[in-house]
Amino acid sequence: MNAIQQLVMGLALVTGATASLIIPDSGAGLPLAIADHDATGILRPLAVSGLAPGSAYSVDVALNIQGRGDGGYVGDVYAYLAHQIPGGEYTMMVLLNRPGRSASLASGYDNAGLNLTLSDSAAYDIHTYQAQSYQLDGTGALTGTWQPDRRLASPDTVVSSDARAATTLDNLVGSNANGYWYLFIADMEAGGTMQLNGWSVSFAEMSAIPEPGSLLGLAGLLSSAMFLRSRRGKRVA
């Protein structure tokens, strides 16, 4: 590997992102019916191991929740994600809190399901997705990538104007991304039923971001090396 290639690789390493590790729920029992108008809900555990303790990870959650029979309603759904690290520390955050429910729309949105990703890096809040440009798949389920709801208000009274908690998906990692991750889902209003078809959690280790001066210095070395190579080529010619 010549000096130019080394510099290019170095610049890529300090600015690049690591690939995501996707861990799906492969346990028995899916798809799993979500009882109508029952706050007991369902709880699915996901065992995670092999991640580096003490490292920071970005976390995304993929959800596939579909209507059953005559169909369900997204506005009925309440869901949270929780993480228990080895040793016992437990944290949770609200993924869905009856999307669309507001002072003027007490039942929330009436779309038939969700087949999407929840991510801190998304542009828009899932609770108000119909106020944004959105798409449905062939089953009528919402698709795309959205920010988690994060509203801690009771599902019986939550509205879009409620404050959102500061805790994010990435915060759930804590001191160790390993351990058990739990998905809880409940249908909070009568009418329409839904089922959980599948879900997964993905982790991407967050690399240390170098100081801007370091990046500029590396880019400057790359530029100088390319200039010298160009001059050397002209001299030989």
Query: Which tens digits make up the pLDDT trace of 162-191?
Result: 999 999 999 999 999 999 999 999 999 999
Give the model's pLDDT for residue 83: 98
Give the model's pLDDT for residue 19: 77
Average pLDDT on 196-201 reads 98
Per-residue pLDDT band for 34 (boundaries 50, 70, 90) equals: very high
Q: How many CB atoms lie within 10 A of CB 62?
A: 19
CB 11 within 8 A of CB 160: no
The answer, yes or no, to whether residue 11 has pLDDT greater than 60, is: no
Give the model's pLDDT for residue 72: 92
Give the model's pLDDT for residue 70: 82
Q: Where are the domains of the chain?
A: 22-207
Residues 91, 81: Cα–Cα separation, whole Å: 9
Reply yes or no on domain 22-207 having CATH 2.60.120. yes
Average pLDDT on 22-48 reads 97
Cα–Cα separations (whole angstroms), residue 43 to 82, 134, 174, 181: 10, 28, 21, 10
Q: How many CB atoms lie within 10 A of CB 190?
A: 10
Give the model's pLDDT for residue 93: 98
Give the model's pLDDT for residue 200: 98
Say which DSSP state 222 is in. Answer: H
| Average pLDDT of the chain, as a whole number | 86
**Strand, helix or coil for residue 4:** helix
